[in-house]
Structure 1
């Protein structure tokens, strides 16, 4: 069996790294680039995981799908929500409604899985507190037992990223990620062998994990390169090993998708949500910078403030993964959401604060403390233009005292970046930061700053390798990776693309009209023939609800799908 269209998502995959590693280490990726089109694809702003993958999977702007982060903010509380608030259906569910056979595996922010009538949907990690893909992550649910029996449980914490302080952890990471890539590859190959798929999409997050933790060891010029670390001189580096494992998986899945017709018969799309680069050793405490500008005020340090930070630290680093899972399982997302809310905002005196930040490293942003929206808001609607201008002026004037260089490159108002009915879910202002000597600044929570620290500091050498919940040596970049090849793709070479263009072009290559609400364009310059919304398109996507409003299939529908899976051998 085979797949007409194979879509592979490599999280954080970066064209600059691909070029640096070369065709010797990555023969399959470079072969695709040579026989098709490729780019250092531009991400949705900011280059964060959830809004970008959700744009790719739905085709629409974040202002239309409503997913901007792992959490949604309600006043001064944050709730882990992931893809459950998505207001747009995935392209896979819309193709399914046309009667096409589709599979969508492991993409983040896709929980709960969409209930395909003709295909398979396995949700990926939905929030940083997700541990394992149980039956609720799999559609149809009857397939879960077969997947576990053949390939084991699909766990999201098989690599404990909160244990990165442990000696030897970084040396063990490449092997663990290689093994995870292999498990996903084997599962996908099994599904590909079972029948003919119209579209088959699979996500690999291992490139992102490797870049976050291993970039400092990979790059000898990094200010966080620990030359004495055992992994610093390894060749190939740990990061290169993970990229090579993904390249091998690409080759094997392409061969499996091609079946008897061969890999050249497959319409292939490779896409990443953002790129990856190195982090500086400079830390910015954004809320402290806002406080120094008179825009934010902190409460007096008290027992509660110290206790919450300590509780979060203990929950993430001192509890075993099994105990963390058990505790969070008892409380759902309520406990981690409460801890996260207090850790972010518990130190702020909102009665005297005009604006504040979540201080998220992957999404530098500022919220207005707006009266009528926030419970203690003090900025009236008529004051918004003045306060916003005051914030922008203060941020543009911010300079790094360690180098004298400006820090903020641009301040974007959300309505200038996004379009659609859910723009109000985005922060009021989104920031672009300059690079610090070629590396990204590290945003860290002001509440965790050492006593006496201002809004900037340098990391100590024992902090360079980092761990989840702290600064990491690898960071997101706005340009990632795109490549396409297949019978309908020309040898166009390097082109200019946006992540939403990848979705529009993939649909056009399936002779499906690109809906008017889509954010991207068809990359006609990369195609051999005119296809899509102006040419040979013969099918239109139906309108469906998003995850937050999707209906549940009847028991009869579920039984019919289960019977079909048994006949195909997917269910024991």
Structure 2
């Protein structure tokens, strides 16, 4: 099949597909080779000018002017991707095309507290201006779906899919590494530094927070390029890993990665300074699960962490061993939020109930929910059918079935047969490939150089995926 892929996250560098591919949010910069085939880049530039890959000001929305610019940037990106997609549908038709609009995800992360009067960070003074910011994006993307329907041939199917839902962040803040330290499972290095040195470290972190919350994306990039050693110094002071004594640590949380919160066991033979013996592994996991279940909301006694999953309950396949050992349920309605732990605050409470306070550097007021949406329209699709129990991994086998292709052996997910009319199901039996023992193919070469990796990291920080 000829395929077209537009702005899908984590598709850089673009693959030499039969069709075209424009990489998404992990593209380092507009100067990168993010479009395949290369000639298409020049064609799109002639038609639309330079492609804008990111929304500016997300990391510095500390006043209305910058919030307005961020919203305008989201709208501009949506219009750009819609124009490009409609153009490519006409000039470079393919059998399957996928186009991602990131705006709905981003606007919910940063503007939810204006809309939600029950949010602990609800801002009544800003609500009159930004209450409809999220609704406006939904309406804009709904109109985009209408444009696609107008352009599609009559025998085509259109599918609207979200990879997750959205909801308010919790006011329950948990310091996981602090908790592990208090349980005796994580140890910080014993410092002999003077009080002045410790104060300097705190000051560095404070300055780093101010920089992240006040400078624009372009200003941050300029500083990172011009002063790489200063950047490294600041980020080292800000990262909770920098003070961990690995030779005496049994479990840890990667708190720098905001989501998903998870705990890894410092297992011998897995980590360079692993100290946990394989024979201790299951007992230690069970102990940590039990202790996490004991964290309670002081207001009503409810569990802070509704469920803790063992790795094998969620992941399978040849790379499952790379996942954390314990994954914490943070996507439930109340759930919790995590924050960075530092040794000088080790005797502070593990749980903090947040109250409304002036928001410093822009932070998420909403996060992801497990429930997303899936809508399909086209020939052979049932009208007004309600699909129960669909998962994101079901989309690949469902779309392959709709195309009449074989379902690869071992592919995750199931065909969502409830979408299709009975006659279509009867006349189109499922085709499945025979199982193969072949190992999964690996991509060759490193996709990023050091500068590009830093640019991607900065974008993920602006979006809130990395602290």
Shorter-chain TM range is 0.7 to 0.9
Tell me which residue corresponds to 2:250: 354
Tell me which residue corresponds to 1:216: 113
Tell me which residue corresponds to 2:383: 491
Aligned to 1:408, the other structure's residue is in SS state coil
Residue 429 of structure 2 is aligned to residue 535 of structure 1: yes
Residues 167/538 of structure 1: CA separation in 2 closer, same or farther (3 Å cut): closer
Question: How far 1:531 moved relative to its partner?
Answer: 5.1
Question: How far 1:547 moved relative to its partner?
Answer: 6.0
Contact 2:157/2:377, CA 8 A, preserved across alignment: yes
Match of 1:123 among 23, 28, 35: 23
- Structure with more relative contact order (C-alpha pairs < 8 Å, separation 6 or more): 1
Residue 410 of structure 2 is aligned to residue 517 of structure 1: yes
Match of 2:122 among 216, 222, 225: 225
In structure 2, what is the Cα distance between the partners aligned to 1:451 and 1:233? 41
Match of 2:365 among 470, 473, 478: 473
Question: How far 1:369 moved relative to its partner?
Answer: 1.2
Residues 149/545 of structure 1: CA separation in 2 closer, same or farther (3 Å cut): farther
Question: How far 1:432 moved relative to its partner?
Answer: 0.9
In structure 1, what is the Cα distance between the partners aligned to 2:22 and 2:336? 35
Residues 351/539 of structure 1: CA separation in 2 closer, same or farther (3 Å cut): closer
Match of 2:5 among 100, 104, 108: 104
In structure 2, what is the Cα distance between the partners aligned to 1:475 and 1:441? 11
RMSD of aligned C-alpha atoms? 3.5
Question: How far 1:183 moved relative to its partner?
Answer: 1.0
Residues 314/444 of structure 1: CA separation in 2 closer, same or farther (3 Å cut): same
Contact 1:224/1:465, CA 8 A, preserved across alignment: no
Q: 1:97-153, CA deviations, whole angstroms, 9 ceiling, x for partnerless residues? A: xxx22100111111111111x300111011xxx552334111112222232333233
Tell me which residue corresponds to 1:286: 176
Q: 1:402-456, CA deviations, whole angstroms, 9 ceiling, x for partnerless residues? A: 5432112111111221111101111111011485xx4442211113997974222
Contact 1:513/1:538, CA 8 A, preserved across alignment: yes
Tell me which residue corresponds to 1:446: 341
Match of 1:313 among 203, 209, 217: 209
Aligned to 1:494, the other structure's residue is in SS state coil
Q: Please give the residue correspondences for 1:252-263 in structure 2 after superposition, counting only pairs within 5 Å.
A: 252-258=147-153, 261=154
In structure 1, what is the Cα distance between the partners aligned to 2:179 and 2:7? 39
Match of 1:270 among 160, 163, 167: 160
Residues 515/113 of structure 1: CA separation in 2 closer, same or farther (3 Å cut): same
Aligned to 2:5, the other structure's residue is in SS state strand
Q: Please give the residue correspondences for 1:165-184 in structure 2 after superposition, counting only pairs within 5 Å.
A: 165-184=62-81
Aligned to 1:520, the other structure's residue is in SS state coil
Question: How far 1:271 moved relative to its partner?
Answer: 0.8
Question: How far 1:228 moved relative to its partner?
Answer: 2.2
Q: Please give the residue correspondences for 1:48-197 in structure 2 after superposition, counting only pairs within 5 Å.
A: 100-116=1-17, 118-126=18-26, 131-197=28-94
In structure 1, what is the Cα distance between the partners aligned to 2:202 and 2:360? 25
Question: How far 1:362 moved relative to its partner?
Answer: 2.2
In structure 1, what is the Cα distance between the partners aligned to 2:136 and 2:435? 40
In structure 2, what is the Cα distance between the partners aligned to 1:167 and 1:514? 50
TM (normalized to structure 2)? 0.83
Aligned to 2:51, the other structure's residue is in SS state coil
In structure 2, what is the Cα distance between the partners aligned to 1:166 and 1:449? 32
Instruction: Give unmatched runs, 5+ long, in structure 2.
Output: 448-467
Q: 1:293-339, CA deviations, whole angstroms, 9 ceiling, x for partnerless residues? A: 2222233576485477457536634554224334556899x977993
Mean Cα displacement is larger for which, 530-539 or 136-145? 530-539
Aligned to 1:224, the other structure's residue is in SS state coil
Tell me which residue corresponds to 2:96: 199
Aligned to 1:221, the other structure's residue is in SS state coil
Residues 299/136 of structure 1: CA separation in 2 closer, same or farther (3 Å cut): same
In structure 2, what is the Cα distance between the partners aligned to 1:402 and 1:300? 36
TM (normalized to structure 1)? 0.68
Tell me which residue corresponds to 1:247: 142
Contact 2:400/2:406, CA 8 A, preserved across alignment: yes
Q: 1:341-371, CA deviations, whole angstroms, 9 ceiling, x for partnerless residues? A: 9714112222322101012442010011112
Tell me which residue corresponds to 1:505: 398
Question: How far 1:194 moved relative to its partner?
Answer: 0.8
Tell me which residue corresponds to 1:38: none
Q: 1:250-278, CA deviations, whole angstroms, 9 ceiling, x for partnerless residues? A: 111221223xx4xxx32111111111001
Q: 1:224-270, CA deviations, whole angstroms, 9 ceiling, x for partnerless residues? A: 211122xx135861000011111111111221223xx4xxx321111
